[in-house]
Amino acid sequence: MRNFKYVNTIKAAVEEECPLTVSCADIIALSARDGISLLGGPSIEMKTGRRDSKQSYAKEVEDLIPNHNDSIFVVLSRFQAIGIDVEATVALLGAHSVGRVHCVNLVHRLYPTVDTTLDPAHAEYLKRRCPTPNPDPKAVLYSRNDLKTPMIIDNNYYKNILEHKGLLLVDEELATDSRTAPYVQKMANDNQYFHQQFSRAIQLLSETNPLQGDQGEIRKDCRYLNVD
């Protein structure tokens, strides 16, 4: 969402061709779909027809979307509450195959003592990336989630966490919890299976309680409500 400016650029172009026809909600969903494809992930068939809300639900998002340091129990519970099953949740966390984790969000596993569930050699690497227990939150200090294919959505994430090289607590717990471990093993063994389940999970997530029909509105500008 740091690149929301691109959503506004897309919206302006779409409005030029088809005024008040394509919602910002659809543009965000389709941008996610295309981003996944550009990162080497699966091509996902995604429904359209969402409409934009007339109010903000920022607080609800905070309550529904798991935090980076939540336990696997909390992550499974929050996704289950919106209809995402365990297998799909394991697949969704495969998005950790790309991107990075800022040091401020992982130093608790390194200092004052190293989390014993971390692979020792990987922990030493992480300490070189994050050399202080109190990193400046404004500094760009981070580690890549996947050192081998950091910009490809693939099953290396699952191979890494089976070797105890996950960066977040939930990564480690995903590989060891009895509810999720069998799916982790299966996805680590079969990239095609991971992509299939990742596609299904993204579809489920994108179809969670959409506004349709005459609900909400189609915004002219994604940053603001329409002026009646």
Residues at the binding site for heme b are 96
How many other CB atoms are there within 10 angstroms of residue 60's CB atom? Answer: 9
With beta carbons less than 8 A apart as the criterion, state whether 184 and 158 touch: yes
Residue whose tokens read 């340091």: 69
Compute CA 28 distance to the chain's CA centroid, rounded to the nearest angstrom.
14
Beta pairing, strands 142-144 & 100-102: antiparallel
Cα–Cα distance for residue pair 24/8, rounded to 1 Å: 8
Q: Where are the beta strands (DSSP E) in the chain?
A: 100-102, 142-144
Which positions make up the binding site for substrate? 66
Which positions make up the binding site for Ca(2+)? 146, 149, 154
